[in-house]
Structure 1
Amino acid sequence: MVLDVDTGVDDALAILLALRSPAMDVRAITCVAGNADVDQVVANTLRVLDAASAPDIPVARGMTRPLVEPPRPARHVHGEDGMGDLGLPRSQRSPVGIHAVELLRTTLASATEPITLIPLAPLTNIAVLVRTYPELLDRIDRIVLMGGAAAVGNATAAAEFNVWHDPEAAAIVLDSGVPTTMYGLDVFYEPVVPVADVQALVSAADPARQLAGRLMQHQLARFGAATVTLGDAGAVAAVLRPDLLWTARHPVRVELAGTWTRGRTVVDQRPRAIDLDHDELGSGGLVDVALRVDGPALAALFLEVLRTR
């Protein structure tokens, strides 16, 4: 599997989960502008690898901005450095010397079996891959992305942040024909960790658990809540346990022109929508949209995996 990230508090939790799980073989991590600028994202990602005592997994710097609009980092959520301003030491690791899209290309081309891509960020890197190397799309087993919403947004009333940040990229990826699962806001907030478990993580001797706990503490303070959502880590947990996720296949389009709705994922839930002729309405790929999740079970899975060494 390959993670595509804009690390980010919850991206960091997702990376820790993926690295700690013996069921996940992380071949590469690609970075893109989103929660923070791409250089900060790379630095944050390398810090997470340090905390997890990870092997030398290739990490690559990717697209510095969305395809059309300027970047709009989420400092108000993730802090100035994207990682809760925890003052983490700089990593001695370095990213690989090729662009993230080229790392995706070489990883897919050299794989002996199809690979799962898990984008937890704006889809700019993945869209450029789709357009530049369409011959490699059959090397992708599935895209499991954190993004979109069938109902309400968070960046705006209509749009979820990752899709809103680069709607054109999301439209390209969702219309690529690659089997895709959309783990969006409809389930995003369901897996939560209580304060007591957060405190236990902070108090652990293990650096990975400590980091997870400190990041969650930042989110608790930021939002003034009694629990903290797994966020992007929920999408990784759902890859580990797809039986805990209930999806429905629907045509999905990305709104590119709306004054108030740009970046909305328009999930066509009309009866027999799959059978309708959508040509005159524009392209819309069939996507497995997550509409329900066993939140407590995914949160328990996250905590269980983090406790493993």
Structure 2
Amino acid sequence: MTRLIIDTDPGIDDTFALVLACASPEVDLIGVTTVFGNVGLDRTTRNALRVLALCGREDVPVAAGADRPLVHPHAHRAGAVHGEDGLSGMADTLPERQTGLVGTDAVALMVRLLDSSPEPVTIVPIGPLTNVALLLAAHPSVRSKIERLVIMGGGLAGGNVTAAAEFNVWSDPEAARRVLVEEPVPTTLVPMDITTRCAVDLSWLDRLAASGPRGATLVRLTGTYRKHYQRTLGHEGMVIHDAVAVAEAIRPGLLRTSRMPVEVECGMGPARGATIADPREHRVRGEDAPREIDVAVDADLDEVRTFLLSGLTG
């Protein structure tokens, strides 16, 4: 049983990721925290609560976190991709959760859950890394309670919000650098290079919609998102980035990884938010090379898609 905390900014692909975690018998989802990102914090928080209600999970504690980056203002949201409400204009069609937010913020909730856990916990940040950077900076004692971070973010060959930067890292590069470069916590980075290769097609979505009311609801939420990906992919289908990261958290090794150091560009030029990985051998990098993390670089793509569909359909 994998104990998970998901830090999220729902978002369509975040919604698929949350449902996957809720539907997986291998997962003990002990908490959900929210962060600004695809839409503002008020909407990401509302969406997280409603997705948990869709899954019948009144028991999972939810806390809201950062509403802005650590240093510089957030330039824009992703309404053109996810819809202005984050769920293709369909957020209000999801059920209201009877259990509201816990009476504390995201960092405090994570500290409480980590301190009280009888075993290490996997944290899956699938939005900007602001909450996680704050957690590790203010509460270094919790590092030993974290089994690993499984982070959806970064683009090794380029970005999706700029030519250089992927959205989650670009949204708060300073926080991303703190977590990916400086913190001595076991980390698996799932960049958009591999998540994009795991894109699902119309047949996959049709099978999900036919699986039952929850699957049909998920597919109904994807209108704006699918229009975006029809333009970018050139065919019917979509990329569910965040669900791929949750899949790796549930089944370690589903994605093939390579250990390497990464750097995050925090300057204010056109490369801001770029994630730069160094795949050279350690002997080439030298003794002063920075710490290494596991970066997902490959997978059996059909196996990933099958795992996602099986999990989402229960």
If the length of structure 2 is used for normalisation, what is the TM-score? Answer: 0.91
Separation in structure 1 between the aligned mates of residue 97 and residue 190 of structure 2, nearest angstrom:
33
Residue 154 of structure 1 and its aligned partner are, at CA, apart by 1.1
Contact (CA 8 Å) 1:5, 1:32: kept in 2 or not? Answer: yes
Aligned to 2:85: 81
3-state secondary structure, aligned to 1:143: strand
Once the two structures are overlaid, the 10-residue window that deviates more, 292-301 or 81-90, is 81-90
Residue 297 of structure 1 and its aligned partner are, at CA, apart by 1.1
Query: Quick one: percent identity of the two aligned structures?
Result: 38
Aligned to 1:8: 11
Aligned to 2:274: 264
Contact (CA 8 Å) 1:183, 1:290: kept in 2 or not? Answer: yes
Aligned to 1:188: 195
Residue 78 of structure 1 and its aligned partner are, at CA, apart by 0.6
Contact (CA 8 Å) 2:244, 2:304: kept in 1 or not? Answer: yes
Name stretches of at least 5 consecutive residues in structure 2 with no aligned partner: none
2:58 maps to 1:52? no
1:136 pairs, out of 126, 142, 154, with: 142
Separation in structure 1 between the aligned mates of residue 168 and residue 112 of structure 2, nearest angstrom:
25
Residue 215 of structure 1 and its aligned partner are, at CA, apart by 2.8
3-state secondary structure, aligned to 2:266: coil
3-state secondary structure, aligned to 1:199: helix
Aligned to 2:236: 226
3-state secondary structure, aligned to 1:27: strand
Separation in structure 2 between the aligned mates of residue 274 and residue 2 of structure 1, nearest angstrom:
37
2:255 maps to 1:252? no
Residue 216 of structure 1 and its aligned partner are, at CA, apart by 3.5
Aligned to 1:178: 185
Give per-residue Cα distances to partners, 1:101-128, cap 9 Å, x unaligned: 0000000111111110000000000000
3-state secondary structure, aligned to 1:189: helix
Separation in structure 1 between the aligned mates of residue 18 and residue 283 of structure 2, nearest angstrom:
36
Separation in structure 2 between the aligned mates of residue 197 and residue 291 of structure 1, nearest angstrom:
23
Letter in 2 for 1:264: A
Contact (CA 8 Å) 1:190, 1:293: kept in 2 or not? Answer: no
Contact (CA 8 Å) 1:13, 1:230: kept in 2 or not? Answer: yes
3-state secondary structure, aligned to 1:53: coil
3-state secondary structure, aligned to 1:243: coil
Aligned to 2:39: 36
Residue 275 of structure 1 and its aligned partner are, at CA, apart by 5.3
Separation in structure 2 between the aligned mates of residue 293 and residue 124 of structure 1, nearest angstrom:
28
3-state secondary structure, aligned to 2:221: helix
Contact (CA 8 Å) 2:128, 2:172: kept in 1 or not? Answer: yes
Aligned to 1:198: 205
Pick closer, same or farther for the CA change 1:67–1:122 going to 2, 3 Å: same
1:24 pairs, out of 23, 27, 48, with: 27
Contact (CA 8 Å) 1:250, 1:273: kept in 2 or not? Answer: no
Separation in structure 2 between the aligned mates of residue 28 and residue 204 of structure 1, nearest angstrom:
27
Give per-residue Cα distances to partners, 1:60-89, cap 9 Å, x unaligned: 010010001223311111110011111424
Residue 258 of structure 1 and its aligned partner are, at CA, apart by 5.2
Letter in 1 for 2:205: V
Separation in structure 2 between the aligned mates of residue 253 and residue 173 of structure 1, nearest angstrom:
10
Letter in 1 for 2:116: S
Residue 29 of structure 1 and its aligned partner are, at CA, apart by 0.2
Separation in structure 2 between the aligned mates of residue 150 and residue 222 of structure 1, nearest angstrom:
22
Contact (CA 8 Å) 2:10, 2:38: kept in 1 or not? Answer: yes
Letter in 2 for 1:40: R
Aligned to 1:238: 248
Separation in structure 2 between the aligned mates of residue 9 and residue 273 of structure 1, nearest angstrom:
42
If the length of structure 1 is used for normalisation, what is the TM-score? Answer: 0.93
Name stretches of at least 5 consecutive residues in structure 1 with no aligned partner: none
Give per-residue Cα distances to partners, 1:137-159, cap 9 Å, x unaligned: 11101000000122211111111
Residue 294 of structure 1 and its aligned partner are, at CA, apart by 1.8
Separation in structure 2 between the aligned mates of residue 147 and residue 273 of structure 1, nearest angstrom:
27
List 4+ stretches of structure 1 deviating above 6 A: none
Separation in structure 1 between the aligned mates of residue 130 and residue 261 of structure 2, nearest angstrom:
21
Contact (CA 8 Å) 1:230, 1:299: kept in 2 or not? Answer: no
3-state secondary structure, aligned to 2:27: coil
Residue 218 of structure 1 and its aligned partner are, at CA, apart by 3.7
Residue 237 of structure 1 and its aligned partner are, at CA, apart by 1.2
Once the two structures are overlaid, the 10-residue window that deviates more, 286-295 or 56-65, is 286-295
Aligned to 1:305: 311
Letter in 2 for 1:83: L
